[in-house]
Amino acid sequence: MGSEGDPPAAPRDADADAPAVELAGVSKRYDGTVAVEGVDLRIREGEFFTLVGPSGCGKTTTLRLIAGFEEPTAGRIRFGGRDVSGVPPEERNVGVVFQNYALFPHMTVGENVGYGLRFSEPPGDASRAERVRELLELVDLPGTADRDPESLSGGQRQRVAMARALAPGPDLLLLDEPMSALDARLRERLRLQVRAIQRELGITTVYVTHDQEEALSISDRVAVMRGGTPEQVAPPRSVYRRPASRFVAEFVGDNNVFEGVVAGPDDARPGAAAGTGSSDGTVPVDIGGETLRVRIDESESEAAAAASPSPGDRLTFCVRPQHLRVGRAENGLRADVESAEFLGETTRVHLDCDGRDLAVRAEDPLEGTVVVGFDPADAHVIDVGD
């Protein structure tokens, strides 16, 4: 922290190799509530980084801490290696877009965008009017400067809010649920536009959403948060294919989670290699009296890959609904059809397997009792424990 009277540290001219934004052991408590706890994050220059998680997991608080609207109770936040403790929001060179547009109704679209320049001159040699025009073109709203914001659609207003946030040429763009007030179609279109604008500018962006599909579709990396702490930080494909915990497995997309006990060689199915781990890398797991084989390889979650499962160990794994094949008896279980939801391209069928809910994808309606099985390589091991 600078001594009294020092000018606040500006984020510019920082260490070029340092992450654009770093949170080191950051916590935020409000009286009895822990909003954010021990958060360590390193967000890279030019990255589109998303904080995703259920309501109350600390996403907005984390974003507000980065913006400088809140100060951490513990830990440090650095921009380009420089500690920004005590630096007020308007001196952090960040642009912020909120859920509710926050456009001024008594100002035109152009005046709203120009308001983003109240603390600074336009970057480069551009005049204010040129900068406003340039930004409205960037967000694909050319020629709207004289319009009343009320005359725009929700998606267009949010793009105006984005143009306003980008007006001073910030180093960092922070977006807090910017699409949650829009209908599904508009959200899909707007997320493509937001991503295109971010790519064009190459601006480091931190995005908050509770919508896991949005997070997967828009981000370079995702932090899945739970109870104030990121539970997994990884590119979207890794989070989807190799969830690090049961929580992540169930929060991101549909999933079927199985908890069982590693079986001994005697429990293994006929034909399976002897021993717990077989030559094909599969392990037999007892699920309520049935033995299923799952494959563990180096691409599994860290905890699972590090552990070498022995008979009697608890093992948790998941299989996506699209990988559970109806009618596949090999490596399968019997289950009763409970209900089905027609989703257009596919039908999600809910099954009851000895009290365990399973979801599968089907093209045709199903009824009665079915067998569902999976390829051991399509199982992802989440955890192995004693």
Closer to ligand ATP by CB, 37 or 375: give it: 37
Please report whether residue 99 would count as binding ligand ATP according to CB under 6 A. Answer: no
What is the smallest separation between the CB atom of 68 and ligand ATP, expressed in angstroms? 15
Nearest to ligand ATP of 55, 339 (CB atom): 55
Beta-sheet strands, E only, within the chain? 21-30, 33-43, 48-52, 74-79, 82-83, 94-97, 172-176, 204-209, 221-226, 229-234, 256-262, 282-287, 290-295, 314-319, 325-326, 332-342, 347-353, 356-362, 369-373, 380-385
35 binds ligand ATP (CB under 6 A): yes
Only one residue has tokens 């052991």, namely 25
Judged by beta carbon, residue 57 or residue 234, the one nearer ligand ATP is 57
Q: How far is the CB of 225 from ligand ATP (least distance, A)?
A: 7
Phi and psi at 315, nearest 5°, equal: -135, 130
The nearest distance, CB 26 to ligand ATP, in angstroms, is 12
- Give me the 37-56 binding string for ligand ATP, x by CB under 6 A, dash otherwise: ----------------x-xx
List phi, psi (to 5°) of 212. Answer: -65, -30
Minimal distance in Å, beta carbon 55 to ligand ATP? Answer: 3
Which residues, 182 to 211, sit near ligand ATP by CB under 6 A?
210
| Vertex 30 angle, CA 29 and 36, to 5° | 35
Closest CA to 36 of 234, 297, 228: 228
Cβ atoms within 10 A of the Cβ of 148, count? 13
Instruction: Please answer whether residues 119 and 168 qualify as being in contact, where contact means their C-beta atoms are separated by less than 8 angstroms.
Output: yes
Instruction: Find the shortest distance in angstroms from Cβ 174 to ligand ATP.
Output: 13
CA–CA separation, 370 and 356 (whole Å)? 14
CA-wise closest residue to 175 among 220, 210, 205, 215? 205
Q: Exactly one of 50, 61, 156, 205 binds ligand ATP (CB under 6 A); which one?
A: 61
Q: Which helix (H) or strand (E) holds 196?
A: helix 184-201
Please count the other Cβ atoms lying within 10 Å of the Cβ belonging to residue 122.
20
CB of 363 to ligand ATP, least distance (A): 36
Exactly one of 57, 272, 292, 349 binds ligand ATP (CB under 6 A); that residue is 57
Single out the residue of 60, 144, 156, 316 in contact with ligand ATP (rule: CB under 6 A): 60
* Residue 275, number of CB atoms within 10 A of its CB: 13
Smallest gap from residue 182 Cβ to ligand ATP (A): 16
Of the candidate residues 11, 47, 48, 58, the single one contacting ligand ATP (CB under 6 A): 58
- Minimum Å gap between C-beta 226 and ligand ATP is 10
The verdict on 33 binding ligand ATP (CB under 6 A) reads yes
Residue of the chain from 12, 30, 237, 336 that contacts ligand ATP (CB under 6 A): 30
Q: By rule CB under 6 A, what count of residues binds ligand ATP?
A: 12
Which residue ranges make up the site for ligand ATP (CB under 6 A)? 30, 33, 35, 53, 55-61, 210
